[in-house]
Structure 1
Amino acid sequence: MTAGLAWLVAVAIGQTRTVDAARETARALARGDDPAAAVEAGERVAPSGVRISFSSSGREVHVRATGRMAGPGGLLASLPGAELDAEAVALVEEGADRGAGAGP
């Protein structure tokens, strides 16, 4: 039981880090940072294996971070992994370089 609770806490932390990664990337793109650098900043925050994609529409930058967290294994091997998914939207700041376009 304790192992199951620990795994649930790990999933919650992974989801929180995925949300943080999407927000970090959106803020960097909204500031006009280089898109590759913005995605790299998000990936540093994200759990291993989370992929970040982005697009822009008008004055908004949309970022999505998605990935999968493996199941706990061991005695709890029957539990499935968890999907990690987060989206963030930021307004492009005045004077920011609009070269961000769309990303992977």
Structure 2
Amino acid sequence: MKSEDTPFEGGPMDGRVLPVLVGMTGHPPKTYRIPVPAPDGGPPTVLVYRRVPREGGGRIGFARWKYAYDPTGKKGGRRRWPWSKPDATPSVKPDDAEG
């Protein structure tokens, strides 16, 4: 597998550069989760970083990425395919169809 040295910005990983595996398209994952074990043996804390474009430099045609800290750690939140769920209100009312 191929990896790319990717910088991390913000949060506890600020300023570090880690090798991140890239996919077949040459892009690293959109979200990078780092589990941090709790000192008392409890459930681990998960640090969430989101992939964002890196400013400046780079070769033409190649995207350069960095990871920015997401303190909320929430998932995307938007529906990817808005047409996949049927509309709750019908377009034709039963009373209008008789007229």
TM-score (norm 2): 0.29
Which of structures 1 and 2 has the larger relative contact order (alpha carbons within 8 angstroms, sep 6+)?
1
Higher strand proportion: 2
TM-score between the two structures when normalised by the length of structure 1: 0.28
Q: Which structure features the higher share of helix residues?
A: 1
